[in-house]
């Protein structure tokens, strides 16, 4: 009988008894939090893991446990430089990987930023959309040929996708007031729609793409929030859950938060998760906007194939490349 996993399941529990020897997995954003734990768990089960990081020195310091886990369990770990907020850096990294030619069984698009002050990437895109979506859009598409037939793409999204659908007519908030969490929501919806679009293009060769919500975790992702903003966010959440008759919100640990990424990458049935959104180590249900933000589930616009296609075409237009 299949193991039952849930919100409190950790990476080590998901991977219990799983041998990843010979599997090559790429994880973006391995200088902190979920990326480090995801890489550690995979390497601890024998996988050869390649991580990307904007700051190589920071990543080297943060991944000592990953290297130790790899050495002790027959895996390997290496870090390459890539700044998702700079498409020249993204293209350079992708070109280097393509030139090397090593293939991957899984790509986990883990890196991201949240609730940043209004700003722009090196290429002039709103910071969160440019980093969380467009950086990964260019990177993953440029190395798509390195993903083995039967491989997977896992995009880290968030329950924050429920803050907003993507607004293709106002990517940079030129027509509306910039709201940090609204911008975050747009970028996280884009992560899901990108998975839907990628899955449609590659499933004929067995490559499936999915998006995952790790859960509420206290990591560096929240570094742009003031304590007052953070406290207000938690209080609003408490009121919402109380009104909905839900139990108090509990933060996940980092190993619990990384579990869904690992589950979707190497444990779940590929056809079950392809073109879907997952949370708490299962495929999420569709929910309506009337339901509490933190009660789980995915909004239909995030999985809409037509919206995914529109985002794909707009993204190609913005980055000046066709995939």
CB half-sphere exposure, 290, CA atoms < 13 A: 0
CA R_g for the chain: 18
User: Residue 231 class from Cβ within 10 Å (0-12 exposed, 13-18 middle, 19+ buried)?
Assistant: exposed
Q: Which of 23, 31, 89, 157 is catalytic?
A: 157
Query: Which of helix, strand or coil describes residue 153?
Result: strand
Return phi, psi of residue 212, to 5°. Answer: -135, 150
Tokens linked to 322: 């066709």
Residues 30 and 54: their CA atoms lie apart, in Å, by: 9
Rounded (to 5) percent helix, strand, coil in the chain: 50, 15, 35
* Inter-axis angle of helices 180-202 and 305-319, nearest 10: 100
Residues 119 and 304: their CA atoms lie apart, in Å, by: 29
Q: Is 157 a catalytic residue?
A: yes
Tokens linked to 194: 């990108």
Q: Which of 188, 261, 277, 315 is catalytic?
A: 188
User: Which of 99, 110, 109, 112 has the alpha carbon at shortest distance from 146?
Assistant: 99
Residues 44 and 59: their CA atoms lie apart, in Å, by: 18
Q: Is 277 a catalytic residue?
A: no
Q: Is 122 a catalytic residue?
A: no
Instruction: Indicate the helix (H) or strand (E) that contains 208.
Output: strand 208-213
User: Which of 247, 227, 224 has the alpha carbon at shortest distance from 296?
Assistant: 247
Tokens linked to 50: 């390649």
CB 144 within 8 A of CB 36: no
**Alpha carbon distance, N-terminus to C-terminus of the chain:** 41
Active site residues: 157, 184, 188
């Amino acid at each position: 009988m299949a193991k039952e996993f849930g919100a409190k399941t950790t990476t080590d529990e998901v991977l219990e008894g799983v041998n990843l020897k010979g599997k090559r997995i790429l994880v973006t954003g391995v200088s902190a939090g979920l990326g480090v734990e995801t890489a550690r768990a995979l390497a601890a089960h024998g996988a050869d893991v390649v991580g990307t990081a904007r700051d190589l020195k920071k990543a080297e310091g943060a991944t000592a446990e990953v290297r130790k886990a790899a050495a002790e369990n027959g895996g390997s770990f290496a870090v390459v430089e890539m700044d998702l907020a700079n498409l020249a850096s993204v293209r350079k990294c992708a070109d280097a990987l393509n030139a090397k030619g090593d293939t991957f069984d899984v790509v986990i698009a883990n890196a991201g930023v949240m609730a940043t002050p209004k700003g722009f990437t090196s290429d002039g895109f709103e910071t969160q959309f440019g980093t969380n979506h467009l950086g990964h859009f260019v990177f993953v598409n440029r190395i798509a040929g390195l993903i083995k037939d039967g491989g997977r793409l896992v995009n880290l999204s968030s329950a924050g996708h429920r803050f907003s659908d993507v607004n293709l007519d106002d990517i940079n908030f030129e027509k509306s007031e910039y709201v940090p969490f609204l911008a975050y929501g747009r970028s996280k919806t884009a992560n899901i729609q990108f998975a839907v679009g990628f899955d449609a293009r590659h499933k004929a060769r067995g490559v499936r793409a999915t998006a995952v919500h790790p859960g509420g975790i206290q990591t560096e992702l929240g570094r742009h929030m003031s304590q007052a903003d953070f406290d207000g966010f938690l209080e609003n959440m408490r009121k919402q859950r109380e009104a909905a008759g839900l139990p108090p919100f509990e933060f996940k640990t980092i190993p619990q938060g990384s579990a869904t990424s690992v589950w979707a990458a190497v444990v779940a049935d590929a056809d079950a998760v392809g073109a879907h959104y997952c949370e708490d180590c299962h495929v999420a249900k569709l929910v309506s906007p009337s339901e509490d933000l933190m009660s789980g589930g995915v909004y239909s616009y995030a999985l809409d194939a037509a919206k995914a296609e529109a985002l794909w075409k707009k993204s190609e237009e913005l980055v000046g490349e066709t995939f």
